[in-house]
Structure 1
C-alpha cells in the first residue's frame, strides 16, 4: 500500500510540475498541495523504527510545510510558515541525534550559510530592504540548523531530505533575489517533493546502536 501511495506522489508531483498551468492560481495551489497530502499519508503509513515521538513531529512538520505551500504566494507568510516547519524538523532530528556533526560537514554548512547570507540577504540590505534581509538571514540560519541536526542523526534518508530541501530553497532564493534560473520551477519542486518524501521515509529508518563491545550490534 505504501508503494501505491509513493507512486501516486510521483504521478501527482509530475502532473503539478510539468502540466498544470499557472492560472487560475487557486487551482494551481490546490494541485500543489495534493502531493504533500499524499506524503503525509505516506509518513503516517510508515512504521516507526526510531520512536513514535519522531514520527509525530515529522508528520506535524510535513503538515506545516503543506500549509506553507499554500501561502507561499504571499512570500513573507510562506517564509514564516516554512520557518516553523523547519523548527519541527529540527526538534524531530534532535530527538534522534546520535553524535556530533563531523568537522568537515560543519565547515561546509557554515561556509555555505555565510556565502548565501552575503549573496542573498546582502543584496536586500543593499536595496534598502532591511526587514526582508533580516528575515532571509533568519531563514538561512534555521534551514542550515535543520541540515546540521539531520546530519547528527546519521540517518541517510533524513540527511538526503535535509540537503535536498536546502538545495531547493537555495535555487528559489537565487532566482527570486539575484538572477533568473532557467527551469526554476522544475528544479525547485522536484527537489522539494523529493526532500519531503525522504524526510517522511526516514520515519522507517533503522537506528543501529552499539553495545560496550562494538562487535555486537543491538538493533
Structure 2
C-alpha cells in the first residue's frame, strides 16, 4: 500500500509541476496540496523505527508545511507557516540526535547561513525593507538549525531531506530577491517534494545504538 501511495505521489507531483497552469490560482493551490496529502499518508503508513514520538512530530511538520504550501502566495504568511513547520522538524530531529556535527559538515552549513544572510537579507536591508530582512534572517536561522539537527540524527534519509529543503528554499529566495533563475518552479518543487518524501521516509529509518561492549550492535 505504501508503494501505491508513493507512486500516486510521483504521478500527481509530476502533473502539478509540469502540467498545471498558473491560473486559476485556486485550482493550482488545490493540485499543489494533493502530493503533500499523499506524503502525509505515506508517513502515516511507515512503521516508526526511530520512535513513535518522532513519527508524530514529523507528521505534524508535514501537515504544517502543507498549509504553508497553500498560503505561500501571500509571502509573509507562507514564510511564517514554513518557519513553524521547520520547528516541528527540529523537535523531531532533536529527539533522535545522537552524534555531533562533524567539522567538515559544520563549516559549509555556517558558511551557507552567513552567505544567504548577507546576500538575501542584505538585499532587503539595502532597499529599506528592514522587517522583511529580519524575517529572512530568522528563516535562514531556523532552516540552518533544521539541517544541523538532521545531521546530528545520523539518519541518511533525514539528512538528505533537510539538505534538499535547504536547496529548494535557497533557489526560491535567490529568484525572488536577487536574480531570476530559469525553470525556477521546476527546481523548487522537485527538490521540495523530494525533501518532504525523504523526511517522511526517515520515520522508518533504523537507529543503531551501541551496547557497553561496542562489538555488539543493538538495533
| TM bracket, shorter-chain basis | over 0.9
SS in 1 for 2:116: helix
Structure 1 residue 60 displacement after superposition: 0.1
- The residue number in structure 2 matching 1:56 is 56
Misfit runs of 4+, over 3 Å: none
Structure 1 residue 111 displacement after superposition: 0.5
- The residue number in structure 2 matching 1:189 is 189
Query: Which has the higher mean CA deviation after the structures are superposed, 22-31 or 103-112?
Result: 103-112
SS in 2 for 1:100: coil
- The residue number in structure 2 matching 1:171 is 171
Q: What are the Cα deviations for residues 158-199 of structure 1, in whole angstroms up to 9, with x where unaligned?
A: 000000000000000000000000000000000000000000
- The residue number in structure 2 matching 1:161 is 161
Name structure 1 gaps, 5 residues minimum: none
SS in 1 for 2:48: coil
- The residue number in structure 2 matching 1:146 is 146
- The residue number in structure 2 matching 1:133 is 133
Q: Is 1:96 matched up with 2:96?
A: yes
- The residue number in structure 2 matching 1:6 is 6
Q: What are the Cα deviations for residues 78-116 of structure 1, in whole angstroms up to 9, with x where unaligned?
A: 000000000000000000000111122111100110001
- The residue number in structure 2 matching 1:47 is 47
- The residue number in structure 2 matching 1:207 is 207
2: CA distance between counterparts of 1:16 and 1:92? 29
- The residue number in structure 1 matching 2:106 is 106
1: CA distance between counterparts of 2:142 and 2:13? 26
1: CA distance between counterparts of 2:10 and 2:215? 40
Question: Scaled by the length of structure 2, what TM-score is found?
Answer: 0.99
1: CA distance between counterparts of 2:72 and 2:91? 23
Q: What are the Cα deviations for residues 3-49 of structure 1, in whole angstroms up to 9, with x where unaligned?
A: 00000010000000000000000000000000000000000000000
Structure 1 residue 215 displacement after superposition: 1.4
Name structure 2 gaps, 5 residues minimum: none
Please list, as runs of the form range in 1=range in 2, the aligned pairs for 1:61-80 lying within 5 A after superposition: 61-80=61-80
**RMSD value, Cα:** 0.4
Structure 1 residue 130 displacement after superposition: 0.2
2: CA distance between counterparts of 1:140 and 1:208? 31
1: CA distance between counterparts of 2:215 and 2:128? 59
2: CA distance between counterparts of 1:27 and 1:20? 9
SS in 2 for 1:172: helix
